[in-house]
Amino acid sequence: MGNKQTIFTDEQLDAYQSEHDCPQVLGGFGRVPDGQPRALNELVGFIQSTPPPPSTSPILVTPASTALLSVSHLKLHGRYHEMAPHIVPMDYTNEPDVRIPIQLITNMPELKENPFKEQIVKTFSEDGAGNLSFNDFVDMFSVLSEMAPRELKAIYAFKIYDFNTDNFICKSDLEKTLNKLTREELAPEEVTLVCEKVIEEADLDGDGKLNYPDFENMIGRAPDFLSTFHIRI
Amino acid sequence: MTETANSKPSKASQRMKNIRKNSINRRIYSAVYEEHENSNSEDDEQEGEKADYKDPEEIFQNIQIQKEMISSIRCRPWPMGQKLKVLRQAKEIVLKYEGRLTRTRGYQAAGAEMWKKFGRLVYNITVLFIPWEMRIKKIESHFGSGVASYFIFLRWMFGINIVLTVMTGAFVILPELLAGAPFGSVPSKTIPAGYVASAQDLDTIWSLGGYLQYSVMFYGYYGNERKIGRAGYRLPLAYFMVGMAVFAYSFIILLRKMAKNSRLSMASASDENYTFCWKIFCAWDYLIGNPEAAESKTAAVINSIREAILEEQVKKKDRSLAVIISLRILANILVLLSLAGSIYIIYFVVDRSQELERTKVELTLWEKNEVSVVVSLITMIAPSVFELVAQLEMLHPRTTLRFQLARVLVLYLGNLYSLIIALLDKVNSMSMADNSNDTGTSFLATRALPEEESLSTIVPEIRLRRNSSFSPEENKTKPLTKFNRTALFDYNILSQQDQCWETYVGQEMLKLSIIDMLFTVGSILLIDFIRGLFVRFLSDCWCWDLETKFPEYGEFKIAENVLHLIYNQGMIWMGAFFSPCLPAFNVLKLIGLMYLRSWAVLTCNVPHQQVFRASRSNNFYLAMTLFMLFLCMLPTVFAIARYRPSPTCGPFSGQDKIYDIVSETIVNDFPVWFNTVMGYVTSPVVALPALLLLFMLIYYLQSIARSLKFTNNQLRMQLQVERTEDKKKVFQMAVARFQHLEDGDKKIEHESDATSQESSLQSSPRRNGSVTNFDSPLSAESHIQSISQQVAHAVDVTRSANLPQNPAAAPAQKHRRDHVFQRNPGGLQGATSGHFRGKLPSSRGTRLPEDIRPDAPFRKCVRPLHYSPPGGVPQMILGRRVHTARYILVNEREPRKRLMRPATRVPKHYKVDESRGVVEMLPRNLKRYAVHSAHRTNPQLHFSEEEEEDEEELEQGTFSRSPRPHSLSDLHQPTRFYIGDSKDSRILIGKDLAQIQYEYEDSEPLQDHVGPGSSHAQRNSKGPLPATQSGGAHIKWKTKHKTDQSLTESDSVSIASSSDQQNSSTDQYIQVIHSKDKYLKSSNEKISRTKSRASIELNVAEANDLICSNV
């Protein structure tokens, strides 16, 4: 597997992979879950006398399938590398601490047209300023991938729309969202009207701003949230 | 872990598993619980678990947890680095103890992944093949869903026409072309000699004469041989069947589409209340990566937001009623007038054209196409008139749209109908003309004889009318024929051909369709394009602003355009039988229209200012189409059933009726038995019952539909109620949280104060369901039941039994429990309802001051409880903190009628103690009655648990869980308590258990209230073994003085809150049974504090009131 192996070690790929696709890969992981009570008793007896059972079956994921499944991560790394070839090393086996500044990230074609690009990048960056490490980068696209669950997407959507990071979507956040969304083409009174409407609709506790439960409640019923809140890379 | 599980309602199944684990691992989590965020606690958790490996069961559980975490790690909103770390740890643990995944499993996963990718690819490819998808998307993003819906509808029409074309093409046109008699072989397939010269003239072609007339395009060309070709294709039968199948298919496809649409709209109907939210938060399509698309999307978003704003504003508009009504009446009159006018004009024009045809041999171009042109003009102009009129009405824009659509539809239908009626009239009159000619030529006479017969038999009245009305014309035609003596033969031929009235109708329809297309193109070019150019380029050098004032840019009027499509389709349906090529022509027309329209829309139209979501109008369009189809089918069917087919042309020539072909085929070509069967089936014996059955079926289905509708409405109402409940609950939670924060300041000093306050506050949200159980002091008549339960091992089980959680009245119980415990010292002991443990039967009569004091306030509710005498205090603390003494409920039976029961039962269970004695009592009791926790299935449990979780949430400040609807459970609950009046034991068990539950759950979250010392005790209590008494003992000393302090401060608050509770729960079931005043008074005397006495008296008064109203 020549070249690509040098970017990540097998374990790294494995880890990413499990992170990425665990439900499928690990669905049959537990051998006991069905007959739990019985199995539990057996196991209790067993474990009490002996140290943990050695692994008898073969390895978790075969190398072949690792390579197959983690192509997307290699691809992501490729994209990451190509944004800033001079900063990002090709070799990621020792997990270098490299961050790409926000300006480069937002120039990706996938994000370029997005009105919330800065906010997205900031949300996913660990330092909050928008500089993304490779892990953050993977994180971003994993959340925005098609396979991410709705709850996760909702959490991050909330973070994205929460501009001032006060854990509430308040009126100023809404105004910002709206202005970015419409490129400030709406009249101010229209904006205020819409913001009021939004809060009226979604604010359950009457505090004049949306907290996460409000938001989740609302977004959970949206028909096309899942289909629009994802980026294909 | 619990928190995370709770936060994901969708993971209900996971939760099932979790709960077991949780109960076991609870201890571990509790250590880190205060950290309050999962991310932190998860890490710590692992640390903690590693240390815990000694217990095998825990090891197993741990493995399970780790697996769980591995599988759910994607769903955690942590940064990638942390995820990876946690994942690594979890995997290490799991790998240590568990076997690894097999190789086959890996391949399977890989295969599944590939399959998924393949599926997506296929889907993407199929999307590519949907015609005009990109075009429509583009329009949609510019002009919104409304305009796009027109194009989608157009595309759908296009699909239908494709199918119709295939049907007619494959079964009628192709066989005729391949196997039918060739062109020129038969008179009906030959261009008459006199016309050959002009058959290729543009003029002739234009009016669909000449070669076109004698082609497969029209009915007249088809031969009437029963079987054609070597295979014996039954063309006439096929022709008839296809003609019918066109209608049948259209009906079926329309109805199916409508059913699907209504299903969709049903599904989305309940989600109406987040319009603006979704427009903002779900509007942007994150997939967009192309600047143009982004531009379009922005435009679409703005548009949709404007739409929503407009709709919102329209809701608020208001106007004086009288004016509106009169205006609307006026508008409707105007509309009716214009409708009548248009119908008259059409009829007049058709009439005139007949006249012209009679009087003139050479018709000008205008005269030939007069009818179609006039009809098309009317269809173009009238809608604009209607629109002007509609402005008078000032309806809601959507209603306006519908009215407009309906009116235009009526107009179009009127046009088509008056046209077809006029045409059929003309067919008749043509026959008359023939008849009138027979004096001139013998040839004609012989040929026209059967025609005359048939007509006279079928439509004698028409004939009569014609004869009378056209008598002057006959006079004219005679000289004419004489004058054209040279062309006499030609004329005869002509009239012979003209007699093919089916062809004539088909020609007219096709002509109409063509003219309509031309007018559409013309109007698009002229009204949209030229105007757009004019406005765009001349606005600079004009006296006013062309773009905003008069001409403006053309708007895309969805209503008219959709209606026009329907009208167009109506023409096709109407003419398809007479001109099999009409669907094919329509396909071409629709393709052209699609491109032209989309181009025009994108280049020179502005979005309609009042665009509404078309999704709901879709079915409206379809309904109109269905209506149109039905009405267009009528004339065709009428013609088929009523008129005799032309004798010299067409597949049915020589038959009496067109549909005879079917019976003929059945008679000739089917076996005899089938014939007889058909005879039976079509006889009234079968037909009538079948009809009846059909009616019954319709009635039955309709009644079912009605009941379903009713159920639907009810469910919707229920949903609404639940939603409002939701809102209330969340709001109250917020209040409680707020209160809690406020209390936080005092907490340290006045711990118990905070607790009781909290409990009373939290009970308020539960008003609906909460039961306020007010107990009055012990008296001769009353008895007090105190129940205590031991939780111990039962906890885990109860917890898992609780899965279907419902919100509950726990707070009420909670605070009650507090009181009860505090009252406990008064000499009431724990005893499960069924098993009172009585040591001193005489307890009834004794009125211990301690008893009375706490009880009286308790009726009032919360606070006064703390008045319990010092002697009792230790116990009360014990009751609260130590798990063994869980719950003591004091219930008082006052009314004399009920005296008997308590009197008989209570005494033996009673044990009157000195306050000191109770301390030892309780634990013992508890142990003894632990057995009775078996009743834990009582639904009450769920309530309490739910409540607890809410509290946990509040206290932990996690947002992860959304409130659950609980109105239903609320409804149930009260009844239960109400019953409780009579059957104490059952309820008590329920409450009891709930209490236990509560206590258990309580352990972590309530620590805040309870304070450091007690919390530690509580944690101990959670262990599998009953907590040691020593734990409780040590607490009681700590809290003792605190409770005393709290009395004064919380006094007023508690009274207020409790009275609130009482008032609000009047419709609920309050067990308020007051004791005799004298007892109270006597007890009051013994109370050391005057303040409390006052409050007690107050309480008594209130209690009396309540009894009046409730009991």
A43 touches chain B (CB under 8 A): yes
Mean pLDDT of B595-611: 75
pLDDT, position B248: 93
In this complex, which of B278, B287, B289 lies closest to A112 when CB atoms are compared?
B289
Does the distance separating the beta carbons of B74 and A20 come in below 8 Å? yes
* CA angle, residues B639, B644, B646, in degrees to nearest 5: 105
| CA–CA dist B1051, B674 (Å, integer) | 96
For residue B695, pLDDT beyond 90? yes
Q: Is the pLDDT of residue B854 over 60?
A: no
How many residues are present in chain B? 1111
What pLDDT does residue B51 have? 45
Q: Which of residues 701-730 of B touch A (CB under 8 A)?
A: 726-727, 730
Q: With both helix axes pointing from N to C terminus, report the angle between B56-72 and A36-49 in degrees, rounded to the nearest 10.
A: 120
CA distances A16 to A69, B80, B317, Å, are 10, 9, 57
Q: Which of A49-58, A194-203, B180-189 has the lowest mean pLDDT?
A: A49-58
> Could you report the per-residue pLDDT of B326-349, keeping only the tens digit for each?
888 888 888 889 888 888 888 888
What is the nearest CA distance from B927 to chain A, expressed in angstroms?
Answer: 28
Which of left, alpha, beta for A184 (phi over 0: left; psi -120 to 50: alpha)? left
**Segment of A156-165, B135-144, B492-501, B1092-1101 carrying the highest mean pLDDT:** A156-165
Nearest one of B748, B803, B781 to B1009, comparing CA atoms: B748
- What whole-number distance in Å separates Cα of residue B248 and Cα of residue A189? 54
Q: Does the CB of A188 have a partner CB in chain B at under 8 Å?
A: no
Q: Is the pLDDT of residue B412 over 80?
A: yes
Strand A132-133 to A99-100 pairing: antiparallel
Select from B11, B80, B142, B316 the residue whose CB has the most chain A CBs within 10 Å, as the one to mutate to test that interface: B80
Task: Say which range, A106-115, B604-613, B1099-1108, has the weakest mean pLDDT.
Answer: B1099-1108
The mean per-residue pLDDT over the stretch B380-393 comes to: 81
Min Cα–Cα distance to chain A from B290, Å = 7
3-state secondary structure of B199: coil
Spatial separation of the C-alpha atoms in residues B348 and A58, rounded to whole Å:
91
pLDDT in tens, B192-216: 777 777 777 777 777 777 778 888 8
Query: Which region holds residue B36: left if phi is over 0, alpha if psi is between -120 and 50, else beta?
Result: left
Residue B386 CB-density burial (10 A; 0-12 exposed, 13-18 middle, 19+ buried):
buried
C-alpha span between B847 and B857 (Å, rounded): 16
Q: How confident is the model at residue B844 (pLDDT cuts 50, 70, 90)?
A: very low
Tell me the three-class secondary structure of B584-653, residue by residue: HHHHHHHHHHHHHHHHHHHHHEECCCCCCCCHHHHHHHHHHHHHHHHHHHHHHHHHHHHCCCCCCCCCCC
Query: What pLDDT is recorded for position B704?
Result: 95
B500/B77: higher pLDDT:
B500
Single out the residue of A135, A118, A126, A154 nearest to residue A229, CA to CA: A154
pLDDT band at B137 (very low <50, low <70, confident <90, very high): confident
> Helix, strand, or coil here: B868?
coil
Q: CB neighbours (10 Å) of residue B1012?
A: 12
Q: What is the dihedral of CA B519, B520, B521, B527, to 10 degrees?
A: 90
What distance in Å separates residue A89's CA from the closest CA in chain B?
Answer: 18
Q: Please, what is the average pLDDT of chain A? A: 69
Question: What is the residue type of B376?
Answer: S
Rounded Cα distance, B821 and B865, in Å: 9
In this prediction, residue B538 carries a pLDDT of 78
β-strand partners of B1071? B773
The interface residues of chain B toward chain A in range 38-77, judged by CB-CB distance below 8 A, are 56-57, 59-60, 63-64, 67, 70-77
Give the best residue of A65, A80, A150 to mutate against chain B (max B CB count within 10 A). A65
Instruction: Indicate yes or no: CB of B286 within 8 angstroms of CB of A229.
Output: yes
Average pLDDT of chain B?
62
pLDDT, mean of residues B543-549: 67
Q: Looking at the complex, does the CB of residue B959 fall below 8 Å from at least one CB of chain A?
A: yes
| Whether pLDDT at B583 is above 80 | yes
Out of A68, A113, A230, name the one closest to residue B290 (CB). A113
Residues of B whose CB is below 8 A from A228: 282-287
Residue B104 contacts A where some CB pair is shorter than 8 Å: no
Using CA atoms, how far apart are residues B131 and B33, in angstroms rounded to an integer? 58
Q: What is the mean pLDDT of residues A38-59?
A: 34
Token digits of residue B84: 């990876």
Closest residue to B302, CB basis, from A48, A113, A185: A185
pLDDT exceeds 80 at position B69: no
Q: Which of B101, B110, B291 is the closest to A29 by Cβ?
A: B101
Does the pLDDT value for residue A9 go beyond 50? yes
C-alpha dihedral, A147 to A148 to A150 to A153, nearest 10°: -140
Q: How many CB pairs under 8 A join A and B?
A: 266
Look at A29 and B81 and tell me if their CB atoms are within 8 Å. no
Chain B contact for A225 (CB, 8 A cutoff) = yes
- Assigned token pair, B1110: 């409730």
Tell me: pLDDT of B510 over 70.
Answer: yes
Q: Angle at which helices A150-161 and A212-220 pack, to 10 degrees? A: 130
Work out the average pLDDT over B268-276: 61
Q: Do B302 and A178 touch (CB under 8 A)?
A: no
Instruction: State the Cα angle at B214 between B213 and B218, rounded to 5°.
Output: 65
What per-residue confidence (pLDDT) applies to B160?
A: 92
B1011 HSE (CA, 13 A, CB side): 24
To the nearest whole percent, how much of chain B has pLDDT over 90? Answer: 6
- The mean pLDDT of B6-32, rounded to a whole number, is 41
Residue type, B953: E
Range in B104-118, B326-340, B366-380, B971-985 the model is least confident about: B971-985
What DSSP line would sit under B221-234, residue for residue? GS---SSBTTTTB-
Distance between CA atoms of residues B535 and B603, nearest Å: 13
Task: Give per-residue pLDDT as tens, B1025-1083.
Answer: 443 344 333 444 443 444 444 444 434 444 444 444 444 333 333 333 444 444 444 44
> What mean pLDDT is predicted for residues A70-76?
67
Exposure string over A119-133, b if 16+ CB within 10 A, otherwise e: bbbbbbbbeeebbbb
**Cα separation, B705 vs B692, whole angstroms:** 20
Name which residue leads in pLDDT, B609 or B361: B361
Closest CA relative to residue B1000, chosen from B801, B740, B720: B801
pLDDT at residue B50, rounded to an integer: 45
Residue with the bigger pLDDT between B874 and B285: it is B285
Q: Which two tokens stand for residue B197?
A: 């010269």
Flag whether residue B1024 sits within 8 Å of chain A, measured between CB atoms. no
CA angle B532, B538, B541 (to 5 degrees): 160
Determine the pLDDT at residue B699. 96
A49 CB near a chain B CB, below 8 Å?
no
Q: Which residue of chain A has the CA closest to B731? A: A205
Which range of A92-106, B560-574, B788-802 scores highest in mean pLDDT? It is: B560-574
Measure in Å the smallest separation between the Cα of A3 and chain B Cα atoms: 22
Helix, coil or strand: residue B773 = strand
Residue B451 has pLDDT above 50, yes or no: no
Best of A151, A173, A207, A214 to disrupt the B interface by mutation (most B CBs within 10 Å)?
A151
**Distance from chain centroid for Cα B456:** 59
Interfacial A residues in 131-150 facing B (CB < 8 Å): 133, 135-136, 138-139, 142, 144, 147-150
Nearest-angstrom CA–CA distance, B157 and B164: 10
Residue B124, number of CB atoms within 10 A of its CB = 9
DSSP readout, B897-945?
GGGHHHHHHHHHH-----HHHHHHHHHHHHHHHGGGGGGGG-THHHHHH
- The residues in A 75-104 lying below 8 A from B, measured between CB atoms, are none
Q: Is B318 in the A-facing interface, judged by CB distances under 8 Å? A: no
Count CB neighbours of A3 within 10 A: 8
Determine contact: A52 vs chain B, CB below 8 A. yes
Of A22, A44, A213, nearest to B71 by CB-CB distance is: A22
Between residues B183 and B377, which one has the greater pLDDT? B377
**pLDDT the model gives residue B1052:** 41
Q: Which site among A108, A182, A224 would you substitute to test the B interface, given the most B Cβ atoms closer than 10 Å to its Cβ?
A: A182
Over 50: is that where the pLDDT of B963 sits?
no
- pTM, full prediction: 0.52
Q: Using the beta-carbon criterion (under 8 Å), do B959 and A177 form an inter-chain contact?
A: no
B145-174 residue pLDDT tens: 667 778 888 999 999 999 999 999 999 888
**Least trusted range by pLDDT, from A108-117, B439-448, B570-579:** B439-448
Three-state SS across chain A? Answer: CHHHHCCCCHHHHHHHHHHHHHHHHCCCCCCCCCCHHHHHHHHHHHHHHCCCCCCCCCCCCCHHHHHHHCHHHHHHHHHHHHHCCCCCCCCCCCCCCCEECHHHHCCCHHHHCCCCHHHHHHHHCCCCCCCEEHHHHHHHHHHCCCCCCHHHHHHHHHHHHCCCCCCCECHHHHHHHHHHHHCCCCCHHHHHHHHHHHHHHHCCCCCCCECHHHHHHHHHCCCCHHHHCCCCC
- DSSP label at residue B965: P
Residue found under tokens 């709930």: B994
Average pLDDT over residues B928-937: 39
- Choice among B154-158, B679-683, B1095-1099 with the minimum mean pLDDT: B1095-1099
DSSP assignments along B993-1026, one per residue:
HHHHHHHHHHTTTTHHHH-HHHHHHHHHHTSSSP
Q: Does A190 touch chain B (CB under 8 A)?
A: yes
* Contacts B282 to A, Cβ<8 Å: 219, 222, 224-225, 228-229
Least confident of A13-27, A87-101, A135-149, B393-407: A13-27
Asked if pLDDT for residue B700 goes beyond 90, the answer is yes
Task: State how far the Cα of B497 lies from the Cα of B187, in Å rounded to an integer.
Answer: 9
Determine the Cα–Cα distance for residues A90 and A92; give it in Å rounded to an integer. Answer: 6
When pLDDT is averaged across residues A32-48 and rounded to a whole number, the result is: 34
Residue in B74, B106, B289 closest to A65 by CB: B106
Quick check: A144 and B286 in contact, CB under 8 A?
yes
Residue B276 near chain A (CB below 8 Å): yes
Predicted local confidence at residue B785, as pLDDT? 40
- Cβ pair A55:B287 closer than 8 A: no
What is the tens place of the pLDDT at every residue in B763-775?
333 334 333 344 4
> What is the per-residue pLDDT for A42?
35
Higher-pLDDT residue of B508 and B752 is B508
| CB spacing of A31 vs B308 below 8 angstroms | no
Q: Which of B71, B77, B298 sits opposite A155 (nearest CB)?
A: B77
Query: Hey, are the CB atoms on A135 and B112 less than 8 Å from each other?
Result: no
**pLDDT top residue among B443 and B712:** B712
Indicate the pLDDT class of residue B781, thresholds 50, 70 and 90. Answer: very low
Contact call for A28 and B101, based on CB within 8 A: yes
Least confident range from B87-91, B537-541, B1030-1034: namely B1030-1034
Assess whether pLDDT exceeds 90 at residue B702.
Answer: yes
Is the pLDDT at A162 greater than 60? The verdict is yes
**Residue B959 · residue A211 · CB < 8 Å:** yes
Residues of B in contact with A181 (CB under 8 A): 280, 283-284, 298, 301
Task: Map tokens 């409708």 to a residue.
Answer: B339
What is the rounded distance in angstroms from the CA atom of residue B971 to the CA atom of residue A108? 56
Give buried/exposed letters for B181-201 (b at 16+ CB in 10 A, else e).
Answer: eeeeebebbebbeebeeebee
Could you tell me how many residues make up chain A?
233
Q: Specify burial of residue A220 (Cβ count, 10 A radius: 0-12, 13-18, 19+).
A: middle
Residues of B in contact with A138 (CB under 8 A): 80
Q: How far apart are CA B582 and CA A41, in angstroms?
A: 78
| Residue of chain B nearest A139, judged by CA positions | B80
Query: The tokens of B75 are what?
Result: 């769903």
